[in-house]
């Protein structure tokens, strides 16, 4: 019997409610006291096309998806075809047998099959096919042996605002699902159990919501953006909440306008940001160079997805790292932060605003679809801990003629005035300029101004979020990674550690300026180094290699199919180079058929 | 206390570096006079410009000046205005900056109607890159990139703006300083997006649309009996008519500004206490329990 550790996948057609059902069951698991991570694998369209929603529930916070699917809830045959091979031996399938049957060749013998006419039960017994999803939750709850009263209470709470009629209907649907299991499957245990634990003081939040919340807490009062998956949630969140705090969110006509509005607002003195994904980021590149040379504090949230071009808009990838660090004509100081959890998405975004104002340069927060649009359980956020440090902002009058907006300084950061401040009038020009702002092509001045701006990269070093070292810092096996890979990497580390194989993991939180000293210190004396990332070329691995040198024992572990790592994939990659004394993990069947 | 200002209060130490005789000098001079006559203090003026000969103008006005990338003056100006609505926000650029690379922003700024003024200095050529055809060059205009004649029909910026919901549309001529000052003053005082297109001849590259040509080929709508700038249909007809180019206030209308429709607070966003409402902020997390 496997207790409190499972991965459930809901699958069906886009628009048929599998995502909503997934949200509901994920919340249910959270309320039952489990640690939850969700991953949405949906097509880039509104109706039709296979979609699935993965819910990982367990007792350890911060893990990502598991090695395999434990329970598949399939609303159609296509879901079975696509995912039956991903089910762990000993797992189960709940299949809506109303209008389709699973052919014999797909019926894996090592999996328990629960054929339930979900839609028919909903239509015949409850008079509304729409509640099929709730019937499925009833079936799942029964199969997992969940406390029926607790499930009913939570489902009732979710539907309460829709009125008593809707609540009653859904409770009846739950009961119908449970009754069907009791009636037909009481002799067929799933082998899984879910036992209630105290929910405690926790939140359940999506990465994008945490980013927006962090921005609001940090005093961001202006946002401009253009809808783009998977970043749109942030603009919607800000549009909803910013006005309550005196701010404003603007839906611009394109990303060029969005970033230039942000520059304008930042120039005028408001904490401002935009959020986008690869294609939009590409369009913003020129203006970000302008922000660098105008020394404007702007925050750009990059929710990476699969590229190039349109790529797979709803799938995850870490292929925009090079773009954030190196894109643009000319050279500017910039910061790239990368949270590894929903919780850190809040704190690092808040921190981004301070860094942007303290060093008067663009700051990126890099996340990716598998974190940005995933929900996870997290401890309560400490909103009061968020500081607002506006750096060298000067609001009192200055002496016109003496004041120099781009004055040379040891740390490269000049006192900054904003429109309305008497005496501070100046030209902020994308053309090279002298400390006063006057445009000039003088060679000596050019050299000085380049050194002033680029010098910020060194000046800010001590102020940047440090990476986190997980595991045994003296372990022979050393791993590097960032972002959503933190979950599967930490799970791999925990598993190997339990098996007596120590592992160390450096989780980057600042990717630029590259934390060379920390990387060098961490990698020193490691016997085998693995850089784990979701892209083809090994963008992070190249940065690490540049710092620690070409080492024969350094390996790239990469994946670029648009899906996040499963821990077993990382473990296998390590095992190719290091003899792991860990007990052999069960071999999950390879995915076959349509994906 | 009323502040008395003179055009020289808007002068910068940097002299303007346009070709002698360039129409842009007339625009610069008129703008300084308009700001002085309206009593807008340099510290309260944000002046955003794009790229090109005309884009250099922000460097020649004592104000909070922003000389950004090509074609994006209007989004920058919109961001400035939303951040601090107390500022007088002016954007300026050429016909290429506004009607070619920035055409998308132009239409969207017009339809949003933020309270900013946009000056398009139209010389019907790309001057800074030495005389290529521009979006307002006549069809058939011979230039380096169109040796067989410009294949594109010219853009009618004011008519476009009228179709997009423009609320203040005017056209001036760089060689008519008094009228231009008056147009700019009305535009700046207009509550909403004001567009002032200024015929600003390029004396170096455009040998067709010269000062003399404009004198010959323009007329003021005030010379039309009973011209009503509040009449949209007449404005369309006047802007679309073949023949001489109409000058003056072509159209004006009252419509809610972007600031109003966004429910922007009355005080500038720059004056907000960023640590206010911490309790409410913390309570937002309750939705995620």
In tens, the pLDDT along B134-150 reads 999 999 999 999 999 99
In a domain, A223, yes or no: yes
Out of A246, A269, A428, the one facing B66 most closely (by C-beta) is A428
- Asked if A281 and A303 sit in the same domain, the reply is yes
| Boundary (domain end) residue, out of A411, A444, A465 | A465
Domain that holds residue B262: 7-288
The span from the CA of A376 to the CA of A205, in Å, is 6
Does the CB of A237 have a partner CB in chain B at under 8 Å?
no
The span from the CA of A559 to the CA of A125, in Å, is 46
DSSP assignments along B134-154, one per residue: -TTSPTT--BTTBTT---SPP
- Asked if A115 and A14 sit in the same domain, the reply is yes
Contact at CB, A267 and B79, closer than 8 angstroms: yes
Residue of B85, B269, B276 for testing the chain A interface, max A β-carbons within 10 Å: B269
Looking at the predicted structure, is the pLDDT value of residue A583 above 60? no
- Asked if A192 and A233 sit in the same domain, the reply is no
Average pLDDT over residues A529-557: 95
| Boundary (domain end) residue, out of A136, A170, A200 | A200
Looking at the predicted structure, is the pLDDT value of residue A586 above 60? no
Confidence of residue B2 (pLDDT cuts 50, 70, 90): low
Residue A261, both tokens: 């509005």
In A475-560, which residue ranges form alpha helices assigned H by DSSP?
A: 486-498, 516-523, 539-548
B88 to chain A, closest Cα gap in Å = 10
Number of domains in chain A: 4
The span from the CA of A585 to the CA of A66, in Å, is 13
The span from the CA of A556 to the CA of A230, in Å, is 26
| Boundary (domain end) residue, out of A365, A385, A405 | A385
Burial class (CB in 10 A: 0-12, 13-18, 19+), A326: exposed
Q: Which of residues 106-145 of B touch A (CB under 8 A)?
A: 107-108
In a domain, B132, yes or no: yes
Out of B46, B64, B105, the one facing A257 most closely (by C-beta) is B105
Contact at CB, A264 and B105, closer than 8 angstroms: no
Q: Which of residues 48-87 of B touch A (CB under 8 A)?
A: 48, 58-59, 62-69, 71-72, 74-84, 86-87
In a domain, A442, yes or no: yes
Confidence of residue A593 (pLDDT cuts 50, 70, 90): very low
In a domain, B2, yes or no: no
CA A414-A416-A420 angle, to 5 degrees, is: 160
Question: Which helix (H) or strand (E) element contains residue B237?
Answer: helix B232-240
Looking at the predicted structure, is the pLDDT value of residue A100 above 90? yes
Number of domains in chain B: 1
- Asked if A148 and A31 sit in the same domain, the reply is yes
Does the CB of B257 have a partner CB in chain A at under 8 Å?
no
Instruction: Give per-residue pLDDT as tens, A161-207.
Output: 999 999 999 999 999 999 999 999 999 999 999 999 999 999 999 99
CATH number at residue A208: 3.40.50.970
Average pLDDT over residues B51-57: 96
Instruction: Give per-residue pLDDT as tens, A285-306.
Output: 999 999 999 999 999 999 999 9
Burial class (CB in 10 A: 0-12, 13-18, 19+), A104: exposed
Whether the Cβ atoms of residue A19 and residue A53 lie closer than 8 Å to each other: yes
The span from the CA of A110 to the CA of A473, in Å, is 40
Confidence of residue A581 (pLDDT cuts 50, 70, 90): low
Looking at the predicted structure, is the pLDDT value of residue A216 above 90? yes
Sort out which chain B residues have CB atoms less than 8 A from A288's CB and list them.
none
B253 to chain A, closest Cα gap in Å = 24
In a domain, A584, yes or no: no
Does the CB of A203 have a partner CB in chain B at under 8 Å?
yes
Contact at CB, B281 and A217, closer than 8 angstroms: yes
Out of A205, A224, A420, the one facing B79 most closely (by C-beta) is A224
Out of A265, A418, A430, the one facing B67 most closely (by C-beta) is A430
- Asked if A195 and A269 sit in the same domain, the reply is no
Domain that holds residue A304: 204-385
The span from the CA of A94 to the CA of A138, in Å, is 11
Contact at CB, B84 and A270, closer than 8 angstroms: yes
Sort out which chain B residues have CB atoms less than 8 A from A261's CB and list them.
75-76, 78-79, 82
The span from the CA of B162 to the CA of B256, in Å, is 16
In a domain, A358, yes or no: yes
Residue A144: closest CA among A19, A34, A44: A34
Residue of B87, B88, B288 for testing the chain A interface, max A β-carbons within 10 Å: B288
- Asked if A232 and A276 sit in the same domain, the reply is yes
Whether the Cβ atoms of residue A4 and residue A195 lie closer than 8 Å to each other: yes
Instruction: Give per-residue pLDDT as tens, A452-478.
Output: 999 999 999 999 999 999 999 999 999
Contact at CB, A257 and B108, closer than 8 angstroms: yes
- Asked if A271 and A351 sit in the same domain, the reply is yes
Question: Which helix (H) or strand (E) element contains residue B194?
Answer: strand B194-199
Counting one residue from chain A and one from chain B, the pairs whose CB atoms sit within 8 A come to 195
In a domain, A588, yes or no: no
pLDDT of residue B241: 95
Cα distances from A480 to residues A78, A428, A576, B109, B269, in angstroms, run 37, 40, 17, 46, 42
Residue B178 sits at φ, ψ, to 5 deg, of: -65, -45
In a domain, B74, yes or no: yes
Sort out which chain B residues have CB atoms less than 8 A from A266's CB and list them.
79
In a domain, A589, yes or no: no
Instruction: Give the whole-number percent of chain B exceeding pLDDT 70.
Output: 99
Burial class (CB in 10 A: 0-12, 13-18, 19+), A525: exposed
In a domain, B1, yes or no: no
Confidence of residue A595 (pLDDT cuts 50, 70, 90): very low
In a domain, A490, yes or no: yes
User: Which residues, 6+ apart, have CB-to-CB distance to B37 below 8 Å?
Assistant: B5, B181, B185
User: Which residues, 6+ apart, have CB-to-CB distance to B129 below 8 Å?
Assistant: none
Instruction: Give per-residue pLDDT as tens, B215-270.
Output: 999 999 999 999 999 999 999 999 999 999 999 999 999 999 999 999 999 999 99
Average pLDDT over residues A343-368: 98
Looking at the predicted structure, is the pLDDT value of residue A587 above 90? no
- Asked if A225 and A360 sit in the same domain, the reply is yes
Instruction: Give per-residue pLDDT as tens, A22-33.
Output: 889 999 999 999
Q: Which of residues 36-75 of A touch B (CB under 8 A)?
A: none
In a domain, A580, yes or no: no
Sort out which chain B residues have CB atoms less than 8 A from A271's CB and list them.
274
Average pLDDT over residues A390-396: 98
CATH number at residue B101: 3.40.50.970
Instruction: Give per-residue pLDDT as tens, B72-130.
Output: 999 999 999 999 999 999 999 999 999 999 999 999 999 999 999 999 999 999 999 99
- Asked if A94 and A240 sit in the same domain, the reply is no
Whether the Cβ atoms of residue A543 and residue A512 lie closer than 8 Å to each other: no
How would you list the strands of the sheet with A362-368, edge to edge?
A248-251, A222-225, A272-276, A298-304, A362-368, A335-337, A510-512
- Asked if A49 and A132 sit in the same domain, the reply is yes
Sort out which chain B residues have CB atoms less than 8 A from A431's CB and list them.
67
CATH number at residue A516: 3.40.50.920
Contact at CB, A426 and B65, closer than 8 angstroms: yes
- Asked if A147 and A265 sit in the same domain, the reply is no
- Asked if A321 and A407 sit in the same domain, the reply is no
Check residue A193 and report its DSSP letter. E
pLDDT of residue A14: 82
For the whole model, what pTM was predicted?
A: 0.96
A96 to chain B, closest Cα gap in Å = 31
């Amino acid at each position: 019997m496997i207790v409190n550790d499972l991965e459930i996948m809901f699958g069906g057609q886009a628009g048929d409610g599998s995502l909503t059902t997934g949200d509901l069951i994920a919340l249910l698991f959270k309320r039952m006291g489990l640690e939850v991570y969700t991953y949405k694998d949906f097509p880039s369209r509104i109706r039709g096309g296979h979609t699935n929603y993965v819910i990982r529930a367990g007792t350890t916070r911060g893990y990502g998806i598991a090695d395999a699917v434990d329970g598949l809830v399939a609303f159609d045959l296509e879901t079975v075809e696509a995912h039956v091979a991903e089910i762990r031996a000993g797992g189960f399938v709940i299949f809506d047998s109303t209008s389709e049957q699973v052919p014999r060749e797909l019926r894996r013998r090592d999996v328990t099959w629960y054929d339930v006419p979900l839609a028919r039960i909903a239509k015949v017994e409850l008079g509304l096919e729409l509640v099929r999803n709730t019937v499925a939750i009833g079936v799942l709850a029964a199969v997992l042996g969940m406390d029926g009263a607790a499930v009913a209470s939570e489902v009732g709470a979710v539907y309460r605002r829709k009125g008593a009629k809707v609540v009653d209907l859904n409770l009846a649907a739950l009961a119908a699902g449970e009754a069907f299991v009791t009636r037909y499957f009481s002799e067929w245990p799933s082998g899984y159990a879910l036992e209630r634990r105290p929910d405690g003081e926790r939140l359940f939040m999506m990465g994008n919501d945490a980013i927006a919340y962090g921005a609001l807490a940090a005093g961001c009062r202006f946002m401009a953006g253009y809808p783009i998956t998977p970043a749109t949630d942030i603009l919607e969140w800000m549009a909803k909440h910013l006005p309550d705090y005196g701010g404003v969110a603007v839906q611009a006509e394109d990303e060029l306008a969005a970033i230039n509005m942000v520059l304008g607002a930042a120039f005028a003195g408001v904490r401002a940001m935009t959020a986008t994904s690869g294609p939009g980021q590409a369009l913003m590149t020129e203006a970000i160079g302008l922000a660098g040379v105008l020394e404007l504090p702007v925050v750009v949230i990059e929710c990476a997805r699969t590229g190039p071009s349109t790529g797979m808009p709803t799938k995850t990838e870490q292929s925009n790292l090079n773009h954030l660090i190196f894109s643009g004509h000319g050279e500017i100081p910039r910061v790239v932060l990368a949270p590894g959890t929903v919780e850190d998405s809040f704190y690092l975004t808040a921190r981004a605003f301070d860094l942007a104002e303290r060093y008067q340069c663009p700051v990126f927060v890099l996340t990716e679809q598998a974190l940005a649009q995933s929900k996870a359980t997290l401890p309560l956020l400490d909103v009061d801990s968020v500081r607002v440090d506006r750096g060298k902002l000067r609001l009192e009058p200055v002496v016109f003629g003496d004041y120099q907006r781009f004055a040379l300084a040891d740390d490269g950061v000049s006192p900054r005035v904003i429109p309305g401040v008497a005496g501070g009038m100046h030209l902020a020009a994308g053309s090279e300029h002298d400390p006063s702002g006057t445009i000039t092509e003088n060679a000596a001045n050019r050299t000085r101004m380049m050194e002033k701006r680029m010098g910020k990269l060194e000046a800010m070093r001590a102020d940047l979020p440090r990476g986190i070292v997980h595991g045994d810092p003296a372990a022979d096996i050393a791993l590097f990674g960032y972002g959503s890979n933190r979950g599967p990497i930490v799970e791999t580390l925990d598993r190997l550690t339990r098996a007596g194989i120590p592992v160390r993991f450096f989780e980057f939180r600042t990717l630029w300026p590259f934390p060379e000293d920390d990387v060098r210190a961490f990698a020193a004396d490691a016997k085998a180094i693995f850089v784990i990332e979701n892209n083809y070329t090994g963008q992070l691995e190249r940065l690490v290699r540049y710092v620690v040198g070409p080492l024969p024992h350094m390996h790239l572990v990469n994946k670029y199919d648009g899906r996040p790592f499963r821990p077993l994939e990382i473990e296998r990659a390590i095992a190719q180079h290091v003899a792991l004394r860990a007990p052999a993990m069960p071999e999950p069947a390879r995915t076959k058929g349509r994906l | 206390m009323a502040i008395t200002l003179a055009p020289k209060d808007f002068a910068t130490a940097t002299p303007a570096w346009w070709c002698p005789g360039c129409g842009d000098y007339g625009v610069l001079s008129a703008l300084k006079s308009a700001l002085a006559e309206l009593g807008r203090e340099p510290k309260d003026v944000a002046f955003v410009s794009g790229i090109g000969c005309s884009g250099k103008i922000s460097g020649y006005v004592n104000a909070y000046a922003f000389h950004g990338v090509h074609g994006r003056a209007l989004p920058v100006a919109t961001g400035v205005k939303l951040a601090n609505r107390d500022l007088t926000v002016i954007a300026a650029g050429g016909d290429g900056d506004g009607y070619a690379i920035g055409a998308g922003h132009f239409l969207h700024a017009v339809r949003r109607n933020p309270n900013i003024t946009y000056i398009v200095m139209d010389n019907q050529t790309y001057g800074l890159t030495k005389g290529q055809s521009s979006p307002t060059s006549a069809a058939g205009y011979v230039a380096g990139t169109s040796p067989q004649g410009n294949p594109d029909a010219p853009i009618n910026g004011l008519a476009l703006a009228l179709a997009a919901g423009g609320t203040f549309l005017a056209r001036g001529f760089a060689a008519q300083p008094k009228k231009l000052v008056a147009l700019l003053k009305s535009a700046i005082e207009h509550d909403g997006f004001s567009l002032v297109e200024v015929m600003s001849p390029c004396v170096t590259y455009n040998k067709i649309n010269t000062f003399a040509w404009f004198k010959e080929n323009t007329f003021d709508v005030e010379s039309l009996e009973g011209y009503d700038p509040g009449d949209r249909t007449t404005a369309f007809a006047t802007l679309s008519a073949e023949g001489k180019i109409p000058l003056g206030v072509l159209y004006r209308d009252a419509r809610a500004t972007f600031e109003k429709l966004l429910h922007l607070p009355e005080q500038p966003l720059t004056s907000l206490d960023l640590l206010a409402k911490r309790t409410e902020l913390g309570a937002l997390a309750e939705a995620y329990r």
